[in-house]
Structure 1
Amino acid sequence: MAAQAVGRRGPARRSWLMRVRAFGGGIIRSSPSRFAILVFATLVLLTTALLSLPLARAGTGTGGTPLYDAFFTAVSTICVTGLTTVDMATHWSPFGNAVIFIGMNIGGMGVLTLASILGFVISRRLGLRAKLIAASDTNPSRAHAGPVSERQAIRLGEVGGLLATVAVSTLAIEAVIMVGMIPSVLAKGYDFGTSLWYSAYYAVSAFTNTGFNPNPEGPVEFFDDYWFQSLMMIAVFLGSLGFPVIFALLRTWSSPRRWSVHVKLTITTTVALWFAGAITFLVLEYDNPRTYGSFGFGKTLYEAFFMSTMTRSGGFATIDMADMYGSSLLVTDMLMFVGGGSASTAGGIKVTTLAVLFLAAYAEARGKPAMEAFGRRIPRDMLRLAVSVVLWGATIVAVSTVIITQITKSPLDFVLFDVISAFATCGLSTGLTESLPPEGKYVMALTMFMGRVGTVTLAAAFAATQKRQLFKRPEERPIVG
């Protein structure tokens, strides 16, 4: 009888696993983008459930965290945004902090990269579909229109190396940053255990571009520590470059000529925006007594570069955003909206999207028939994709801004700032997000989710199956401009 029972359980178990594997494989084959969104939504719900437990909240007899705060924190964690509605340094227990710590790392891996790994677990092998999922994380055109003939950031045969790079580079960079931060935290009088925890938390939060603070004062406590702040900037900068760029730099760091157009555009545009942002903050805020006005030129210049770095999606701040001039808030809005590199821990429309739009405008002004960069021609469908990303992003920001403004009746510049920060998964805030009513927190959480998942992925997920059109309609040109 016992042997028969084991025999019955064996096939039943195998059948159950086969059904789960078949279900997951069916979703991957039908729509990789929808599978990625399903994975991300599941992670958010799981994290919400864990953070809602009384065990996750600090103190005894305080009960669990309200659902809207737990849900908002879960979305902000998995989407590596950094906006908060509770005090991250005091609200959560060690269990809650552990959930958030793990969630930041998982979220930083990216929607489609994570879906690829889970797809690999389900199928026990990285097949063509799973490779397409991971490749689309490095080039949105794959999810939008399938494989293209131009050189990609990561080719299908290199996806296995990309996934290994994601895991190894994440752990290695975070470990190096953590070790470098420990002396600075020890110098503030913390014991070794606390210093180790704070350093690890800051390293993960910086590289994943989340922006959560483990200590009550946040980065302000290290305002005069240039070493600590520099490590934060390096981690945020590397995280915002994107794993395809890190992958390429690790292989061909000494041969820039071998870099793909994607790598060159990402690095060039990122550095240009970094300097432009720093100079702009320096000019606009140098006489503001509430921000940089009381500092010397050297300190003001350094903090301007620090702020420009954090607008990439880092989310750390050493000044109160509400104290900045309106002109500086607007510049920060624009920098946050652009964000970092594709397939990075940063958000926004991505620097390569901005680069394609600029190249299109330049080609049009020069009367050239095609966009060109670094001796390569960029196909016109990249322009259509870039315009779609910008329009979808602007639409999400506009709708969310209108709703939040109607709910809170707050000043438009503050609402717009926090909404763009949510969409771009940046984490900088004027203080508006913390005071939102429950319905406003749900709207902001949805904005973060759509911004992190990506407008291209959302469009591909909800679009109907693409149909081949075997004919062309008559062409007619409308008047533009």
Structure 2
Amino acid sequence: MCVPGPEWETVDLRALQHPARLVPLAFLLVLVVGTAVLMLPISRAGPYDASFLTALFTATSAVSVTGLSIVETHTYWSRFGQVAILTMIQLGGLGIMSGATLLGLLVVRRLRLSTRLVAQAETRSLALGDVTGVLKLVLLVTISTELVTATALTLRLHHSYGEPWLEAAWNGLFFAVSAFCNAGFSLYPDSAVKFAPDWLMLGPIMVAVFLGSIGFPVLHDIRQNPRRPAKWSVHTKMTLLGSAILLLGGLLAVLAYEWSNPATLGPLDPAGKLLGSAFHSVMTRSGGLNSHDVGRMQPETLLVSSVLMLIGGGSASTAGGIKVTTFLVLGLVVWAEIRGEPDVTAFRRRISREVQRQALTVVLLAVGTVGAATLLLLSISDFPQQDILFEVISAFATVGLSTGITPKLPAAGQFILVVLMFLGRVGTITVATGLALQARQSPYRYPEERPIVG
């Protein structure tokens, strides 16, 4: 896309025409290849039908790092098929992080020089020409986190659960990649339910999911200024603060509603209840794994989980959703309006009106998409509205948590989820970047008039 060095200054970005199309096209290419691979007889573990929809659904779920499935991963797919799924998860995770980050840097490059310098200083971003450095750092964070997590899980699976070394290593690696990429896939029939009271299993998974979900710009910012939070960008501060609030809020909500539920946290001791609540709260950021049966949770828990899933994780991360900063920007807009403030500010910095409009656009498009898909699924299936809404948000926010209805949906309903997973992963990035790339100064302004609002 570009070559680092002085010659980069001579490249006309207009030659790229629509750079925001690169990400969805790349994902679409991997999706097509992945579907073809999964349709091969060697990809199946038994005499199962080589269904195109099954292969398409699984490939889309893997490439979009969602985790929803209409078949059991550990029994339907052979080791070859499982390796193909893991490869797609890894490609999807690396592509999301590097692609979103590079598009974000590309947006900065398109601004005027003075604005670009301010934006670069504020975000502590790498220069756009240093593409190799960006990709190396993304690769380093990804591989190192996955290797450490895989090692910890392998040792635990072998010594505490009696799995042979090779089996433990494969299961640990699969868990580690799935966790960091926020993919939600598991080689166990009950996801992570059998590890519900085990801190040494669920702990490393939660850490990997969190690191994958906060976003590369945040990781880079912390790496540059590990002991000087005051030097962190507003984006980093908003992402970390918002993540902490959402994680704590989710934990407390799950504890409150599931404490006495005999189907989830009820039988556990206080430490087990705390672990189960923390795990579910982290997984709603887009992790997608579950240590308790989601379908038997209280309606209140499902509603809270749906909200957390729709918000998702950090920008330019492996997580989905509208993103934490988008949610906080709209919250700050509301707060400024209530207080009668002329500007929207965060950490003594003013949030531009362009960013406010982009956040509003992303949220409204997301809500509209979720609403339309929910209505379509309700019209072609007989499942309760709360289950349909949960499944739709899980697909669009690329989370992967499920109440168990996905395999039971009609083929048309499963295809709707395929579209949602693809749009949820690449759509918000594309829309947000497209809006920024089209930013321009108008030579004139129309007369102002104030419609009545509220």
State the TM-score, normalized to the length of structure 2.
Answer: 0.90
Q: 1:273 to 1:32 in 2, by over 3 A?
A: same
SS in 2 for 1:448: helix
Q: Establish whether residue 29 from structure 1 lines up as the match of residue 16 from structure 2.
A: yes
The structural deviation recorded for 1:455 is 2.1
What is the distance in 2 between the residues matched to 1:28 and 1:221?
53
- In the alignment, what sits opposite 1:172? 144
Structure 2 counterpart of 1:103, one-letter code: M
What is the distance in 1 between the residues matched to 2:350 and 2:358?
16
| Cα offsets for 1:335-385 (capped at 9, x unmatched) | 000000000000000000111111112212222111111121111221111
- In the alignment, what sits opposite 1:99? 84
The total of aligned residue pairs comes to 437
Structure 1 counterpart of 2:350, one-letter code: R
Instruction: Judge conservation of contact 1:261–1:373 (CA < 8 Å) in 2.
Output: yes
| Cα offsets for 1:259-308 (capped at 9, x unmatched) | 11111110010011100110111111112121112222222122111110
- In the alignment, what sits opposite 1:286? 259
Instruction: Judge conservation of contact 2:107–2:433 (CA < 8 Å) in 1.
Output: no
SS in 2 for 1:352: helix
Structure 2 counterpart of 1:372, one-letter code: T
What is the distance in 1 between the residues matched to 2:281 and 2:236?
21
Partner residue of 2:134 out of 162, 169, 178: 162
Structure 1 counterpart of 2:58, one-letter code: T
Instruction: Judge conservation of contact 2:147–2:176 (CA < 8 Å) in 1.
Output: yes
Q: Establish whether residue 337 from structure 1 lines up as the match of residue 310 from structure 2.
A: yes
The structural deviation recorded for 1:183 is 1.8
What is the distance in 2 between the residues matched to 1:144 and 1:423?
31
The structural deviation recorded for 1:391 is 0.3
Instruction: Judge conservation of contact 1:28–1:35 (CA < 8 Å) in 2.
Output: no
Q: 1:42 to 1:144 in 2, by over 3 A?
A: farther
What is the distance in 2 between the residues matched to 1:467 and 1:248?
29
Instruction: Judge conservation of contact 1:58–1:91 (CA < 8 Å) in 2.
Output: yes
- In the alignment, what sits opposite 2:153? 181
What is the distance in 2 between the residues matched to 1:234 and 1:102?
21
- In the alignment, what sits opposite 1:120? none
Q: 1:371 to 1:159 in 2, by over 3 A?
A: farther
Instruction: Judge conservation of contact 2:362–2:432 (CA < 8 Å) in 1.
Output: no
Instruction: Judge conservation of contact 1:80–1:108 (CA < 8 Å) in 2.
Output: yes
- In the alignment, what sits opposite 2:341? 368
Q: Establish whether residue 136 from structure 1 lines up as the match of residue 103 from structure 2.
A: yes
Q: Establish whether residue 453 from structure 1 lines up as the match of residue 434 from structure 2.
A: no
What is the distance in 1 between the residues matched to 2:449 and 2:291?
54
Gaps of 5+ in 2: 1-11
What is the distance in 2 between the residues matched to 1:317 and 1:277?
14
Structure 2 counterpart of 1:43, one-letter code: V
Q: 1:478 to 1:232 in 2, by over 3 A?
A: same
State the TM-score, normalized to the length of structure 1.
Answer: 0.86
- In the alignment, what sits opposite 2:73? 88
What is the distance in 2 between the residues matched to 1:462 and 1:67?
35
Instruction: Judge conservation of contact 2:48–2:76 (CA < 8 Å) in 1.
Output: no
Correspondence list, 1:429-444, <5 A: 429-444=402-417
Q: Establish whether residue 321 from structure 1 lines up as the match of residue 288 from structure 2.
A: no
Instruction: Judge conservation of contact 1:76–1:83 (CA < 8 Å) in 2.
Output: yes
The structural deviation recorded for 1:217 is 3.6
What is the distance in 1 between the residues matched to 2:374 and 2:310?
14
Identity of aligned residues (%): 39
Partner residue of 2:247 out of 251, 256, 274: 274
Q: How big is the alpha-carbon RMSD for the aligned residues of Structure 1 and Structure 2?
A: 2.5
Q: 1:111 to 1:182 in 2, by over 3 A?
A: closer
Instruction: Judge conservation of contact 1:135–1:159 (CA < 8 Å) in 2.
Output: yes
Instruction: Judge conservation of contact 2:179–2:205 (CA < 8 Å) in 1.
Output: yes
